[in-house]
Amino acid sequence: MLRLDWNFLFTVINLLLLFVLMRIFLFKPVQKIIAARQQEADRQFEEAAAKKAEADGLKLQYEQSIASAEEEKTKTLQETRRKADAEYHRIVTDAQDKAKQIKDDAAVEAQNQKLQILKKAEKEIADMVVSAAVKVVGEKKGSDVDSSLYNEFLDKAGDRQ
Amino acid sequence: MGNLTETLMKELECETVFTIPIFGGIDVAESVVVTWIIMAVLVLAAFILTRNLRVDHISKRQAVAETIVTKLTGMVEDMTGSEGKRYAPYLATVLVYIGIANIIGLFGFKSPTKDLNVTAALAIMSIVLVEAAGIYQRGVKKWLHKFTEPIAIVTPINILEVFTRPLSLCMRLFGNVLGSFVIMELLKMVVPVIVPAVFCLYFDIFDGLLQAYVFVFLTSLYIKEAVE
């Protein structure tokens, strides 16, 4: 019970040995693996942060490109509408011009025909007058001829009125 | 009554298991042999627990090993403070050793802590560790200067403390284990049934573990004081 001897030294050696063995077989490996896990976790967090930053950047980029596409679309639409309007106006103006042209042509044609008919009629009248004159001249002489010619002309002209 | 005393003394006597036949024969006590058994069990357990350690998808075995290590070192680190962290593995080892040594009586062995050699060795190692930690942390000059703090007149008392601390550590552990053992033996003789079982819970298990904790707690406290 109460004795101090060599066993004191043995106990010291035992304890030091136990400490070294526990360090080798328990503390060192477990602490190593925990440190490794910590490192792994840190790495993953870093990676996640980097990926998030990257994703944020891409998102911004996409938003920008979507916005610019929208703008582009609006611009194109306006451009197209403007062009279509211009085309519409051009076509309508064209059509109106053509219609006017046709109408004018028709009027000129009609005038021409009218003139032709009139000319023809004048010619016929002249012929008629000449033939009537020939007939009258053939039947009478002197002043009779003149007066009868005159009357006949008047008659005929009066008929035409 | 004479019979009782005789039995008690026999139980308390730390028997010599064998003698190394050099220097006129060195007696190897029972406590040393039981310590070897405890060491073998601890190292074997540690060896089995730490096979195939992995970073992820850990086995239950590894989870147990990690829990034991983190809880033990965490407990000791709380007591030593951040500066004394490096001494945690030693203190944790001592904690486990004393804890098992105190309750190994339940398995039919004689507690090594019932031998003064063991508690003295533990206490001396503790004080050596404490002073070494102080020298390591502060350097010899500042370590020596610490003896004159807070005022020069307490220097003798501070020097005395170097000796009284291990002595109190040693005797506290020894006395507690011895005392509880004697009480249990007496109780078993007076009331052989049921009652000893209840007291066994306190004296053999609770007090044994408590003394292990107290020993390590005080050593941690001294280390903390020395390194801060």
Distance from CA of B97 to the nearest CA of A (A): 9
Residues 6 or more apart whose CB falls under 8 angstroms from that of B26 comprise A6, B19, B20
Q: Is the pLDDT of residue A161 over 70?
A: no
Q: Residue A72's pLDDT band (boundaries 50, 70, 90)?
A: very high
Nearest-CA distance A47 → chain B (Å): 18
Q: What's the pTM value of the predicted model, to 2 decimals?
A: 0.71
Q: Which residues of A touch B55 (CB under 8 A)?
A: 33, 36-37, 40
Three-class SS state of B18? strand
**CA gap B54, B177 in Å, rounded:** 41
B49 C-beta neighbours (distance < 10 Å), count: 21
User: Which pLDDT belongs to residue A109?
Assistant: 93
**What pLDDT score was predicted for residue A45?**
95
Task: Using an 8 Å CB-CB cutoff, list chain B residues near A37.
Answer: 55-56
Structure-token pair, residue B20? 């190394």
Checking if the pLDDT of A77 tops 60, the result is: yes
Q: Give tens-digit pLDDT for A81-121.
A: 999 999 999 999 999 999 999 999 999 999 999 999 999 99
Query: Using the beta-carbon criterion (under 8 Å), do A15 and B120 form an inter-chain contact?
Result: no
Scanning every residue of chain B, which has its alpha carbon at the shortest distance from the alpha carbon of A35?
B55
- And the tokens for A117? 């008919």
* Maximum separation of any 2 CA atoms in chain A, in Å: 201
Angle between helices B60-80 and B30-49 (to 10 degrees): 120
The interface predicted TM-score of the complex, written ipTM, equals: 0.86
Contact A27 B89 (CB under 8 A): yes
Count residue pairs from A and B with Cβ separation < 8 A.
Answer: 121
Closest CA relative to residue B91, chosen from B224, B217, B225: B217
**pLDDT at residue A129, as a whole number:** 87
The SS3 call for residue B20 is strand
Locate the domains of chain A by residue range.
8-160
Q: Which residues of A touch B28 (CB under 8 A)?
A: 6-7, 10
CA distances from B218 to A27, B7, B224 (A): 22, 34, 10
Nearest Cβ partner of A11 from B62, B69, B121? B121
Write out chain B's pLDDT in tens, 228 residues: 567 777 777 767 767 767 776 666 677 888 889 999 999 999 999 998 888 777 778 888 888 888 888 998 898 988 888 888 888 999 999 999 999 999 888 888 888 888 888 999 999 999 999 999 999 988 888 888 888 878 888 888 889 988 999 999 999 999 998 888 888 888 888 888 888 888 888 888 899 999 999 999 999 999 998 887
